[in-house]
Amino acid sequence: MLGDLMDRVDAIAKELLEKYEGVDRKEIIEKLKKLLIEFKVPENEARRTMENYIMREYGIPRESVRETFTRIGDITEAGKWVNVKAKVIQIWESSSPSIAQTGLIGDESGVIRFLMWTKANKPPLVEGKSYIFRNVVVDDFGNVLRLNINRTSEIVEVNEDIEVKPLENLREDIEVVGALVAIQQNSGLIQRCSVEGCNRVVKSGKCPIHGKVRPVEDLRIKGVIDDGERTYEVIINEDGVKELTGIDIEKAIKMAEEHFDRGVVLAELKTLLLGKYLKVTGSLTPRYLIARKVEFYRPQIRDEVDKLLAELEG
């Protein structure tokens, strides 16, 4: 615990020393230790107190201080505390009561996932609006970097339309071999909004945007594939589901009608696919691996052994 606090003292001191030239490092460290460790002042308040102290004691005009931000494309390491200015690109449905919001933010250099904890007690972000995010910490979840908004973070909406690197420029064609370790909600036999250009998932006959609509049936899997090094949220469409299980949309509807339960389709897909190794070829977006081709992975044991022996002999 004390070690964590000292790490935060060092991190804030480094940030202040980079921002204000000529400031005495030893003095800053000692005052931060008093504020954060001895008096248990919240981190944001300690930072503000120190900034006011530096400007007063070193005669630095407030208007001459220019706030610096980390470009999202330059965020490459977990454990760093950063300030960023970015636009909210997408808000995703939260999967846990402990998570208030999750989604994507971006600037001209790239995009990154964010997660706002419920305990952060912050006002909700809005898609399309731009914000300054102060004191957010980078973590690594499934080998994917993510910004965490917690109680010590500060969020300020800015009246600025921040340019964002186009998402299509971030797509990458990849092939992944791994185990399907989860099949998420809104998988199986689902219904979509029929309004042109919408295609959102309909629940209880209502689209979240267009209200009550005539739904269109669809079949898909939203799952998680683990290749041993990282996890991928994968979307497999009807063609992929049929390729793996032999279940197409007509068969899925018939199963649901026979059992008076749409959930029977999802249950069957879980039985057939969970824990199985798949080879997925598709397009990797900032959130999903969109499968174009998917098949069961059946390793050629003889080839694998020969390859291993060749590596050992080489």
DSSP H or E segment with residue 294: strand 288-296
C-alpha–C-alpha distance, residues 201 and 228, integer Å = 31
104's tokens: 């994507």
Residues ≥6 apart with Cβ < 8 Å to 202: 190, 191, 192, 193, 213, 215
Q: Looking at residues 259-280, what average pLDDT do you find?
A: 95
174's tokens: 């990849």
Degrees, nearest 5: CA angle 62-66-68: 140
Please report which residue ranges of the chain form alpha helices under DSSP H: 2-19, 25-33, 43-57, 238-245, 249-259, 263-273, 301-313
Residue with tokens 């949309």: 249
Distance of alpha carbon 274 from the chain centroid: 23
pLDDT tens digits along 56-98: 998 888 777 767 789 999 999 888 888 899 999 999 877 788 9
Angle between helices 25-33 and 2-19 (to 10 degrees): 140
C-alpha–C-alpha distance, residues 225 and 240, integer Å = 15
Answer whether 0.75 is exceeded by the pTM: no
Q: How high is the mean pLDDT of the chain?
A: 89
**Mean pLDDT lowest for which of 24-28, 189-193, 205-209?**
205-209
C-alpha–C-alpha distance, residues 119 and 138, integer Å = 17
